[in-house]
């Protein structure tokens, strides 16, 4: 009997291969074959006009095949890269050119592209290019951008790319009339994700077939395909994009196309030899993408019970030099900041500002960590003002379980209303309190204080819109061996999709898990897809593989019903065998696949040859009536709107009274992503997210100096948590409020772990120290300085 796999802890089929170093990443593609290597000259200045580029010394270098600057680009390649998500409020959107045209706007911007026999020669050649710059004053940081004494782009007044305001009710009037008011200034600094594998692209052009094959480390293979075709003037059908194993994406590989993703295929086509580019770590720091940098001003009015009557949030978003992803990050902050709460009235206004720093694209959490920090710091401040328990204030503001679907009265990026589909926030809070020992904490604090130790506890709540459309598709094909091949077009960066989707298909088709093999991110197998970001794969492709497997199963039943001379309604399937219920009459799925093909071959032992034969009436192919040959199912899933996952984290920290070192004593998570496909995978996602969140809260920041140089562009200087800094045991409890929006009741889980980190650590450190924490990340030396600033006079 096939056991149900949905909801069980099936070990990840990917892991043996990946953990033993048997993965194939972009840099492993075409190894052993002749491949040319690319290197990029990047701007050493944050802001400069390019007066002249002299490449004469490079062309003579042995082994150099090409050196290009902007002037060598023609047609669509000489146009700016696409602005992927435009928005009407983005009145001054700007994207970069594949190679800088006339000016550079951040350290690291690509200026020239060299292709050579190997990477050493290419890098040496890059070093011989001479550029004559006119130095311009850079704009670094939000304060400088707002002051606008100098401009990033001459034609963008005030450095303001966009200003967007939304209001639900009259927040300012509500605040003015409220019995209590507060204002807060809150800052989250700029950071970035650091996947183990940086960006990497390999391309091969086949002149005979007129076909381009691109292997790239991306989160959106179909997006890259479309851009390569458009920019190189090829038909979409001439371009295949294959996503090999991807060593982490975390958002940075959502951006497409990167300049190198276009220049590499272009070079492969012109030079007639495959070309490869592999980003190094310094390039990742200065020429990919960052996020998080925002300053916020909050005004809030509330009643004696801590109910928020009016909330007014203004914030300034540091967008860096370009806006390829439009306003997606600040829009997410502004709309999902409210989390599980329903303020009486809410106004939010933001400005998206240009600076001469690396551009911003979404990084795991995408604007929500900042929003959660703002909302949860506000909740804590209200509790402190009223002398109430922090959980009590939150509970007073929760949307209640019977209020779903709940419309927040706001409009999201796509112009649709922000409507939460389901959840149970009071139940989550009760679970969290029990998990972390909230009610026992004061006794623990007293015990620790008796030993001269200082501890604090904090909690933070969030929601996350997941499973965003427009669609995702899947193809399920049963082979004559009974093996099931599944293809879905979105990509995988380590989330375990091969396992989770195989669980869904095995259940729906009634076959053993081992019989199912899942392919992702190959445009030859599934050319219609969107990509893996915004915690959408489980909802989108999970639903699509479920529907496609259902279609395959229905077809299998139609064929089996004819073969077994039974009614479809009497059939059942288990362990890959279709039976007429209650009888011995059965047929296995592989045989059904054989029957689904009117043209069949058999292996003739005597002649040792495959012989073509056909069974039954030649006039009537032995597939079910009106069916096409082949045992397969295909379907697409397109949701009405996003589904809202939610969660709450709590942390207990100890702060050293002498050194201000911050130690995590306990970390607890209650998470609701609807029905869990694989709890082990979801918990892995939470662990990874919490680890990233610990980095964001306590260590990681992009340290720019006034001239726009990134001072910590290496792992020697950019502090990431090691395993020793991440809590060893994270206590996790799940709540499953199914989404009514998709067939399996799933909500996404891939970003949840990172969203509340800044908020929860700020709350716990503040609780330990009795000092307001308003900016994150916070290091021991900063905590030390804060302590000194708050010493009694």
Contacting residues toward ligand MCN, per CB under 6 A: 195, 248-251, 364, 466, 493-497, 500, 532-538, 673-678, 681-682, 685, 688, 746-751
Closer to ligand MCN by Cβ: residue 106 or 253: 253
CB of 193 to ligand MCN, least distance (A): 7
What are the helix (H) ranges across 510-615? 537-564, 589-595
Query: 306-326: string of b/e by CB count within 10 Å (b at 16+)?
Result: bbbbbbbbebbbbbbbbbbbb
H or E, element range at 757:
helix 757-769
Closer to ligand MCN by Cβ: residue 343 or 750: 750
H or E, element range at 19:
helix 15-19
CB of 248 to ligand MCN, least distance (A): 4
Closer to ligand MCN by Cβ: residue 326 or 748: 748
Cα angle 433, 439, 445 (rounded to 5 degrees) comes to: 120
CB of 259 to ligand MCN, least distance (A): 21
Contacts of 319 (CB under 8 A, 6+ apart): 161, 352, 353, 354, 355, 359, 360
Both tokens assigned to 161: 């790319």
Closer to ligand MCN by Cβ: residue 348 or 537: 537
Question: Do residues 87 and 331 make contact, with C-beta atoms less than 8 angstroms apart?
Answer: yes
Closer to ligand MCN by Cβ: residue 287 or 535: 535
Beta strand 484-488 pairing with 275-278:
unpaired
Contacts of 668 (CB under 8 A, 6+ apart): 432, 435, 436, 649, 650, 651, 730, 731, 732, 733
CB of 744 to ligand MCN, least distance (A): 8
Closer to ligand MCN by Cβ: residue 399 or 746: 746
Contacts of 451 (CB under 8 A, 6+ apart): none
Closer to ligand MCN by Cβ: residue 676 or 768: 676
CB of 685 to ligand MCN, least distance (A): 5
Closer to ligand MCN by Cβ: residue 579 or 671: 671
Residue 749: CA count within 13 A, CB half-sphere: 32
CB of 426 to ligand MCN, least distance (A): 21
Closer to ligand MCN by Cβ: residue 199 or 747: 747
Q: Any idea of the CA torsion for 561, 567, 570, 573, to the nearest 10 degrees? A: 20
Closer to ligand MCN by Cβ: residue 121 or 537: 537
Both tokens assigned to 77: 């390649």
Pick from 383, 458, 461: nearest CA to 761: 458
Q: Is the alpha carbon torsion for 127, 129, 130, 132 positive or negative?
A: negative
Q: How far apart are CA 675 and CA 690, in angstroms?
A: 21
Longest dimension (CA), the chain: 101
Please give, one letter per residue, the 3-state secondary structure of 179-247: CEEEEEEEEECCECCCCCCCCEEEEEEECCCCEEEEEECCCCHHHHHHHHHHHHCCCHHHEEEECCCCC
CB of 684 to ligand MCN, least distance (A): 8
CB of 614 to ligand MCN, least distance (A): 42
CB of 752 to ligand MCN, least distance (A): 8
CB of 756 to ligand MCN, least distance (A): 16
CB of 313 to ligand MCN, least distance (A): 24
Closer to ligand MCN by Cβ: residue 251 or 343: 251
CB of 453 to ligand MCN, least distance (A): 35
Closer to ligand MCN by Cβ: residue 521 or 777: 521
Closer to ligand MCN by Cβ: residue 194 or 408: 194
Pick from 62, 108, 296: nearest CA to 710: 108
Closer to ligand MCN by Cβ: residue 253 or 317: 253
Pick from 244, 253, 246, 256: nearest CA to 215: 244
CB of 457 to ligand MCN, least distance (A): 28
Q: How far apart are CA 180 and CA 339, in angstroms?
A: 22
Q: How far apart are CA 383 and CA 746, in angstroms?
A: 34
CB of 251 to ligand MCN, least distance (A): 4
Cα angle 596, 600, 603 (rounded to 5 degrees) comes to: 135
Q: How far apart are CA 622 and CA 613, in angstroms?
A: 13
Beta strand 308-318 pairing with 294-302:
antiparallel
Closer to ligand MCN by Cβ: residue 653 or 758: 758
Beta strand 516-520 pairing with 577-580:
unpaired
CB of 419 to ligand MCN, least distance (A): 19
Cβ atoms within 10 A of the Cβ of 340, count? 24
Helices and strands: H and E segment counts in the chain? 19, 31
Q: List, edge to edge, every strand of the sheet that includes 130-135.
A: 103-104, 48-54, 130-135
Both tokens assigned to 732: 């996790």
CB of 678 to ligand MCN, least distance (A): 4
Closer to ligand MCN by Cβ: residue 377 or 431: 431
CB of 12 to ligand MCN, least distance (A): 9
Closer to ligand MCN by Cβ: residue 39 or 732: 732
Question: Do residues 298 and 183 make contact, with C-beta atoms less than 8 angstroms apart?
Answer: yes
Q: List, edge to edge, every strand of the sheet that includes 454-466.
A: 454-466, 643-655, 662-672, 730-734
């Amino acid at each position: 009997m096939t056991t149900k796999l949905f909801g069980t802890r099936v070990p990840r089929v990917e892991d043996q291969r990946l953990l033993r170093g048997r993965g194939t990443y972009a840099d492993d593609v075409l190894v052993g074959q002749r491949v040319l290597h690319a290197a990029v000259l990047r701007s050493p200045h944050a802001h400069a006009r390019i007066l002249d580029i002299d490449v004469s010394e490079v062309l003579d270098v042995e082994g150099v095949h090409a050196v290009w600057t902007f002037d060598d680009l023609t047609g669509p390649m000489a146009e700016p890269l696409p602005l992927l998500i435009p928005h009407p409020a983005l009145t001054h959107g700007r994207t970069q050119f594949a190679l800088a045209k006339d000016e550079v706007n951040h350290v690291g911007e690509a200026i020239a592209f060299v292709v050579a026999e190997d990477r050493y020669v290419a890098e040496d050649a890059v070093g011989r290019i001479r550029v004559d710059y006119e130095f311009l004053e850079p704009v670094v940081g939000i304060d400088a951008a707002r002051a606008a004494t100098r401009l990033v782009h001459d034609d963008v007044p005030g450095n303001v790319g966009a200003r967007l305001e939304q209001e639900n009710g009259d927040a300012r009037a509500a605040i003015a009339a409220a019995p209590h008011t507060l204002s807060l200034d809150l800052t989250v600094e700029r950071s970035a994700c650091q996947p183990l594998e940086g960006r990497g692209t390999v391309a091969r052009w086949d002149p005979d077939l007129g076909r381009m094959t691109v292997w790239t480390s991306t989160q959106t293979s179909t997006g890259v395909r479309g851009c390569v075709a458009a920019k190189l003037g090829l038909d979409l059908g001439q371009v295949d994009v294959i996503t090999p194993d991807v060593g982490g994406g975390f958002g940075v590989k959502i951006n497409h196309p990167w300049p190198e993703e276009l220049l590499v295929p272009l070079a492969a086509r012109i030079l007639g030899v495959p070309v490869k580019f592999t980003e190094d770590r310094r390039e990742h720091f200065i020429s990919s993408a960052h996020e998080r940098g925002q300053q916020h001003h909050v005004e809030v009015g509330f009643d004696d019970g801590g109910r928020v009557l009016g909330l007014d949030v203004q914030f300034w978003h540091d967008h860096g030099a370009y806006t390829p992803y439009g306003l997606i990050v600040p829009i997410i902050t502004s709309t999902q900041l409210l989390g599980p709460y329903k303020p009486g009235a809410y106004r939010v206004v933001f400005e998206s500002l240009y600076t001469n720093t690396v551009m911003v694209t979404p990084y795991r959490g995408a604007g929500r960590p900042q929003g959660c920090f703002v909302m949860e710091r506000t909740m804590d401040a209200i509790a402190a003002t009223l002398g109430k328990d922090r959980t009590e204030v939150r509970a007073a503001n929760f949307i209640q379980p019977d209020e779903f679907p709940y419309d927040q009265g706001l409009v999201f990026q796509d112009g649709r209303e922000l409507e939460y589909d389901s959840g149970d926030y009071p139940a989550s809070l009760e679970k969290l309190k029990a998990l972390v020992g909230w009610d026992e904490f004061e006794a623990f604090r007293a015990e620790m204080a008796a030993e001269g130790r200082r501890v604090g506890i904090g909690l933070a709540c969030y929601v996350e819109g997941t499973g965003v459309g427009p669609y995702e598709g899947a193809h399920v094909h049963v082979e004559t061996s009974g093996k099931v091949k599944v293809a879905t077009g979105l990509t995988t960066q380590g989330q375990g999709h091969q396992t989770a989707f195989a669980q869904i298909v095995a259940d729906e088709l009634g076959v053993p898990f081992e019989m199912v093999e899942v392919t992702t991110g190959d445009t030859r197998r599934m050319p219609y897809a969107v990509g893996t970001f915004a915690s959408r794969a489980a909802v989108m492709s999970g639903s699509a593989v479920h529907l496609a497997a259902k279609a395959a199963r229905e077809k299998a039943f139609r064929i089996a019903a004819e073969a077994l001379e039974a009614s479809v309604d009497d059939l059942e399937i288990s362990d890959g065998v279709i039976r007429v219920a209650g009888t011995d009459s059965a047929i296995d799925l592989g045989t059904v696949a054989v029957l689904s093909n009117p043209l069949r071959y058999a292996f003739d032992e005597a002649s040792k040859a495959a012989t073509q034969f056909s069974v039954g009436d030649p006039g009537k192919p032995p597939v079910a009536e009106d069916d096409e040959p082949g045992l397969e199912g295909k379907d697409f899933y397109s949701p009405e709107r996003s589904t809202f996952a939610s969660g709450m984290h709590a942390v207990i920290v100890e702060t050293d009274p002498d050194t201000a070192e911050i130690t995590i004593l306990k970390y607890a998570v209650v998470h609701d992503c609807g029905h869990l496909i694989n709890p082990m995978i979801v918990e892995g996602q939470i662990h990874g997210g919490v680890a990233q969140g610990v980095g964001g809260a306590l260590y990681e920041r992009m340290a720019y100096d006034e001239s726009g140089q990134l001072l910590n562009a290496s792992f020697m200087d950019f502090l990431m948590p090691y395993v020793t800094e991440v809590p060893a045991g994270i206590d996790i409890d799940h709540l499953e409020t199914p989404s009514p929006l998709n067939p399996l009741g799933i909500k996404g889980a891939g970003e949840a772990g990172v969203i509340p980190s800044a908020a929860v650590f700020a709350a716990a450190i503040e609780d330990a120290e009795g000092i307001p924490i308003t900016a994150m990340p916070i290091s021991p030396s900063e905590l030390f300085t804060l302590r000194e600033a708050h010493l009694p006079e």
